[in-house]
Structure 1
Amino acid sequence: MLSASELADRLARDAEAVCRHYLSAGRRAGNYWIVGDVANSKGRSLYVYLFGPRAGRWTDAATGQYGDLLDLVRETCGLVDFRDVADEARHFLSLPQSEPATSRGGGAPDYPPVEKPAAERARRLFAMTQPLAGTLADAYLRERGILQASTHAALGFHPSCYYRDLGSSRTTSYPALIAAVTDPAGQITGVHRTWLDPGGEGKAKVEDPRRALGGLLGNAVRLRFPINGPVPIMAAGEGLETMLSLSHVMPGLPMAAALTANHLAAFSPPAGCLRLYIAGDADAAGRHGIERLSSRAQALGILPLVLAPELGDFNEDLRWLGPERLIGSLQAQLVPEDAMAHLPM
């Protein structure tokens, strides 16, 4: 059984390999690994000792953060529980998983396995993301016909996001598209993660490459929402890529992705909303979410209008039929003044 101190020492024996894996945006400079920060940004403020008695120790001169390689694993993967940190380190070192780890002094663990609120973990993870432009996540969305995703403040990229296989409990990490879920006041309550194949071949080859974390009920990934401003006309739907596809052809219209049919049914339109366009999906769960949200909107005095794709969803319309065909389809479904205001003519 390895203690936390022993795990950190094992990582420090091959500090450069650890850095190349978790801080791939950096580079070796003499006896140090240099990178921008623990989110793996390009830059020079964080340095890791690679050799000698301080091997594995690191400091970020810009933020004042410091620690050993276990701390680095925790920060780069966005982990909170020590058990998860230890499992990730063991996975990297090819050691057996889920050994109970003791503290560096032999007593209680340094990072007690106390589950912090999911919303706090979600905020922490989103704070570690990089801007989307030019990243693997940006390329993934471009392959799906969504060319302006990097203009959305709700989206970010994590180059090495922690992933646990729920069947085997095996842990690893993949690049990921991270979307912030926010409440009506704009506070982050959760995140949606889409793990990506490191070679650029779409989503990661795992059983469930999409997962949400945190408080989704009544909240959503908000696209183009004004800060503290009125939202008289908006669109809401289930899938993130569905709403990004609609935003691609209607960039001026505020939109919300509720992420599941049940959460779409519970979405809370903003005060002052007059018309709510609801993006349809072809499945039964999607229809159920649309019906419930339509009923709730009517009870609030909001006019609900359902937008129907020609294929399975609006991302399929965008990819396979093209933006001009999608614009034409939407023009026939929108209220004329909304079509004039939000569709390219």
Structure 2
Amino acid sequence: MTSTAADIARRLADNAEAVCRRYLSNGRREGHYWMVGDIRNSPGRSLYVRLSARGEGGGAAGKWTDAASGDHGDLLDVIAASCGHMGFRETLDEARHFLSLPMPDPSPPGPKAKKTAQGSREAARRLWAGSRPMAGTLVRFYLNARKIIDLRAGDPLRFHPHCFYRPSGEDEPGGPPAWPAMIAAVTSEDGRVTGVHRTWLDPATTDKAPVAYPRRAIGFLLGHGVRFGPAAPIMAAGEGIETLLSLREPMTAMSMIAGLSAAHLAAIEFPSALRRLYVARDDDPAGAGALATLTERGAGAGIEVVPLEPERGDFNADLVLLGRDCLARSLSRQLHPSDRHRFL
């Protein structure tokens, strides 16, 4: 009997990663998501596809969202856009052809089936537990070199001296299997570790390691982030850890959340106490899309969303090139009048 469109969509969702590798080949896996530029397979990180239904927070496997445009759909949409189909019948025929191919067993039998799945929250928690405080380590030297000095004992940052790096097709062969790394805890609002973000570092330069992707995250990220300070009525959010730590140099009392990518920034869960959110946006289409999504979501939740714009492309560049005082003056012009004296 011929499969219905709903049956085909369910089967595609069961093999979501294989579908993404075929039809969104310019993307890559990050934790439980496939990240790519858009549904037409452009390079980038704006669109994310959920690869499994495991974990908290809901969301079905195979569903995708484009943070830049706000569009969303399922894997049949992905196949249609990737192949340039003019009609739905073409898409169903292509999907049936794809599904007839042999698929690797995602849960091989035997003892290995009991191991923690790659990218899971359990693996993230083990990596966090196996890391050590950053004081006196390469993490502090790396951040200090970026003029980030205000580092605190309660910050969700640790150091791992030998963190495994899985090379991609863009890496040169024969590289080291592991590098030192800055490990950042991704947490829910109640403080549970749901994932970690890794920044691999080079001891010879105290900069990022010379690999194709020196930043990667694992675990359950959607809605969560790297949190600097407790939930509060007024907070800041942005993509990168270094971006927010740069903002904290002059704004020492403001709590902040790093979403780690434009897509995840757009999807952060608003703390219940939040009333005003400053968004340190990146100057690119994905950053603009994340800001637009947060503004729309904030309007529905009674939260004012205010953009913060850097002068030199990003806030760490402002801190390094212009200095803390110039960064403070730039932020003063953008903060709500009632927040200037409180946070600067």
TM-score range, shorter chain: 0.5 to 0.7
Q: How far off is 1:286 after superposition? A: 0.7
d(CA) in 1 for partners of 2:284 and 2:241?
16
Q: Percent identity?
A: 47
d(CA) in 2 for partners of 1:264 and 1:225?
18
Which of 137, 140, 147 aligns to 1:135? It is 137
The one-character-per-residue Cα deviations of 1:45-65 (angstroms, maximum 9, x if unpaired) are xxxxxxxxxxxxxxxxxxxxx
Partner SS for 1:149: coil
TM-score (norm 2): 0.64
Maintained 8 Å contact 1:164/1:170: no
Q: Give the RMSD, CA atoms, in angstroms.
A: 2.0
d(CA) in 1 for partners of 2:265 and 2:134?
26
With over 3 angstroms needed to count, the CA separation of the structure-2 counterparts of 1:215 and 1:114, relative to structure 1, is closer
Partner residue of 1:119?
121
Q: How far off is 1:272 after superposition? A: 2.2
d(CA) in 2 for partners of 1:169 and 1:298?
51
Residues 303-318 of structure 1 mapped to structure 2, 5 A cutoff: 303-318=304-319
Partner residue of 1:225?
230
Partner SS for 2:312: coil
d(CA) in 2 for partners of 1:149 and 1:122?
23
Partner residue of 2:302?
301
Partner SS for 2:202: coil
Partner residue of 1:197?
202
Answer yes or no: is 1:180 the counterpart of 2:182: no
| Structure 2: 5+ residue stretches without partners | 1-109
Give the AA of the match of 2:146.
R
Q: How far off is 1:148 after superposition? A: 1.9
Maintained 8 Å contact 2:141/2:206: no
With over 3 angstroms needed to count, the CA separation of the structure-2 counterparts of 1:116 and 1:211, relative to structure 1, is closer
Partner residue of 1:337?
338
Which of 134, 159, 162 aligns to 2:161? It is 159
The one-character-per-residue Cα deviations of 1:6-64 (angstroms, maximum 9, x if unpaired) are xxxxxxxxxxxxxxxxxxxxxxxxxxxxxxxxxxxxxxxxxxxxxxxxxxxxxxxxxxx
d(CA) in 1 for partners of 2:216 and 2:278?
25
Q: How far off is 1:216 after superposition? A: 1.0
Q: Which moved more, 1:305-314 or 1:195-204?
A: 195-204
Partner SS for 2:165: strand
Give the AA of the match of 1:317.
D
With over 3 angstroms needed to count, the CA separation of the structure-2 counterparts of 1:132 and 1:201, relative to structure 1, is closer
d(CA) in 2 for partners of 1:272 and 1:201?
38
Answer yes or no: is 1:249 the counterpart of 2:254: no
d(CA) in 1 for partners of 2:154 and 2:147?
15
Give the AA of the match of 1:216.
L
Partner SS for 1:196: strand
With over 3 angstroms needed to count, the CA separation of the structure-2 counterparts of 1:186 and 1:166, relative to structure 1, is same
Partner residue of 1:261?
262
Q: How far off is 1:249 after superposition? A: 1.5
Give the AA of the match of 1:161.
C
The one-character-per-residue Cα deviations of 1:203-259 (angstroms, maximum 9, x if unpaired) are 111111110111111000000125xxxx11000111111011111211211100000
TM-score (norm 1): 0.64
The one-character-per-residue Cα deviations of 1:148-180 (angstroms, maximum 9, x if unpaired) are 234442110111111110226977111000100
Q: How far off is 1:274 after superposition? A: 1.0
Partner SS for 2:307: strand
1 or 2 for the larger relative contact order (CA 8 Å, sep ≥6)?
2
d(CA) in 2 for partners of 1:110 and 1:294?
45
d(CA) in 2 for partners of 1:169 and 1:274?
50
d(CA) in 2 for partners of 1:236 and 1:258?
7
Select the structure of larger CA radius of gyration: 1
d(CA) in 2 for partners of 1:111 and 1:263?
30
The one-character-per-residue Cα deviations of 1:54-99 (angstroms, maximum 9, x if unpaired) are xxxxxxxxxxxxxxxxxxxxxxxxxxxxxxxxxxxxxxxxxxxxxx
Q: How far off is 1:117 after superposition? A: 6.4
Number of residue-to-residue matches in the alignment: 232
| Structure 1: 5+ residue stretches without partners | 1-107
Residues 269-308 of structure 1 mapped to structure 2, 5 A cutoff: 269-308=270-309
d(CA) in 1 for partners of 2:211 and 2:118?
26
Q: How far off is 1:112 after superposition? A: 5.8
